[in-house]
Amino acid sequence: MPTPRIALVTGGSRGIGRAVAELLAAAGHTVAVNYVSNEDAANVVVAAIEAAGGTAIAAQGDVGDEAAVAALVKRVQEALGPIEILVNNAGITNDDLLMRMKSDAWDSVIQTNLKSVYLCSKAVMRGMLRGRWGRIISISSVAGVYGNAGQANYSAAKAGIIGFTKALAKEVGSRGITVNAIAPGFIATDMTQALGDDVVNAAAQQIALGRLGSPEEVASAVGYLASDDASYITGQTIVVDGGLTI
């Protein structure tokens, strides 16, 4: 059995974040399910984890806000103990062509998708350094690898996560802390389903496996990177896209 750890999953109330929270709990870890506003959804995830025999709490906090992150991490650590696994999953989109993109659309996406990774990673780092063990896993995107038209803000944020991951991995590797990223492709979530069947079907035709991925398939990669089996992997970006970017 793996050593039980304390995990924080940002944006853990739905989609990929929910799948990650449930998988980590199933592996024996205690999970803090972070959410911003949808308390009911977070409580549903906690209830599902508990029904399966796991341990979890819901933890409110805007991970793009420095004071909110400090308060969030403090609450989780007081309730559960030092955070040993951090999954930076929280993210939003606010798409537009650059010539039409407003500054607030740029700023909001950078703050939620990239600044949150900096804030949360920094907030948990002291405990990881003290314990000489840690896993920081951030959800990037294939958009951060090859770019998406109409998503200059999102692509920049997700590419920034990859650079951040490499730099931090070099800083903390000697202390037993690994830092990695996962770049999902087209994953079947509420966000993608809202695009409509025509868009989803067209996207599936561009994927080597001929279908969208599931949140659970992304979560499996997170679970591996969080495990002792991945102790010699750091600074890497694992692409989970069904062959979209081949």
Residues annotated catalytic, as ranges:
154
Q: How far is CA 55 from CA 4, 22, 23, 131, in A?
A: 11, 10, 12, 22
Its sign, for the CA torsion 9, 13, 19, 22, is positive
Spatial CB neighbours of 163, under 8 Å, sequence gap ≥ 6: none
Name the CA dihedral angle for 181, 123, 66, 9, rounded to a multiple of 10 degrees.
50
Separation of alpha carbons 80 and 124, rounded Å? 13
- The length of the chain is 246
Q: Listing from the earlier edge strand, what are the strands of the sheet with 177-184?
A: 55-60, 30-35, 6-9, 85-88, 134-139, 177-184, 237-240
